[in-house]
Amino acid sequence: MNRFYVPTPLIAETVLELPDDVVHHWCRVLRAAVGDTAVLFDGQGREADAVLEQISKRHASARIGAVRQPRTESPCHTHLGLVMSKGDRLDYALQKAVELGVSTLTLLTSERGEVRWRGDEQTEKKRQHVQRVLISACEQSGRNTLPACHGPMTLTDWLPQVVAEQKWVLAPSVTGGPSATPRPNSVALLIGPEGGLSSAEITQAIAAGFQPWQLGPRVLRTETAPVAALTVVNWLWGDLSRACSESFPEAR
């Protein structure tokens, strides 16, 4: 069944005027008709089946059914600080981070980062694009909570603001990594640009309480590293760990 994000709280047995992007996708692109159903989610953890009640040239409305709040969020809160890369590489990293349950994203600039958003108009357009990527990833993956997204900001400004029980800076030049214990409730990850974080930036992160983490002997691309790191975090402490223990009780 199709899923669409609506930025308003869902209330059972009410008629909701659909936002323009949902009208366009559901009614124009997918050619939905009155009586068709879809799942709507509000970005705050709630979802509901909705029946399309009315379609006009520019507007559409749907009746909201029973509202439910399924458990789709990881028990481990993850904050990803990601130095921005170009075009599709950033989109891929954001999309996969959402699929893997990231809670908060902060877009960063750094010494070797090539991407800078220049001017208020470009920055606003880029933020809108990023928001659409996050919404689309939630729609596809079945998440009902839209991750918070901040930035862009400099790495220097971000580091002292980060609050998490465990904080990790990922780089191929360091050694170390997490173990299964102790089990944190929150984790922050710092991932650099295509050229990597400089030695000074790694030192700065460590001074801010980040521990060094090397993701194996190979150098991962900036869009691959978030996928690998978030998978490990969720396997150790998140819902992938729960799924494993439920599917294979002997592994507990």
Per-residue pLDDT of the chain (252 residues; tens, 9 = 90+): 899 999 999 999 999 999 999 999 999 999 999 999 999 999 999 999 999 999 998 899 999 999 999 999 999 999 999 999 988 999 999 999 999 999 999 999 998 888 887 777 888 899 999 999 999 999 999 999 999 999 899 999 999 999 999 999 999 889 899 887 788 999 999 999 988 999 999 999 999 999 999 998 899 999 999 999 999 999 999 988 765 555 434 434
CA 116/CA 150 separation, integer angstroms:
15
- CA–chain centroid gap for 135, Å, is 9
pTM: 0.90
**CATH number, domain containing residue 201:** 3.40.1280.10
Phi, psi angles (nearest 5°) of residue 178: -80, 160
Q: Give the pLDDT confidence score for residue 223 in this predicted structure.
A: 94
Question: Residue 156 — left, alpha, or beta (φ > 0 → left; ψ -120 to 50 → alpha)?
Answer: alpha
- Reduced to 3 states, what is the DSSP secondary structure of residue 167? strand
CA 172/CA 174 separation, integer angstroms:
6
CA 184/CA 132 separation, integer angstroms:
30
105 and 27 assigned to the same domain:
no
Both tokens of 77, joined, read 């809160």
The residue out of 45, 68, 91 marking a domain boundary is 68
Q: Is 250 part of any domain?
A: no
CA 106/CA 229 separation, integer angstroms:
16
Q: Which helix (H) or strand (E) holds 201?
A: helix 199-207
Structural domains counted in the chain: 2
CA 93/CA 95 separation, integer angstroms:
6
Domain range for 159 = 77-244
Phi, psi angles (nearest 5°) of residue 187: -135, 140
The residue out of 18, 51, 68 marking a domain boundary is 68
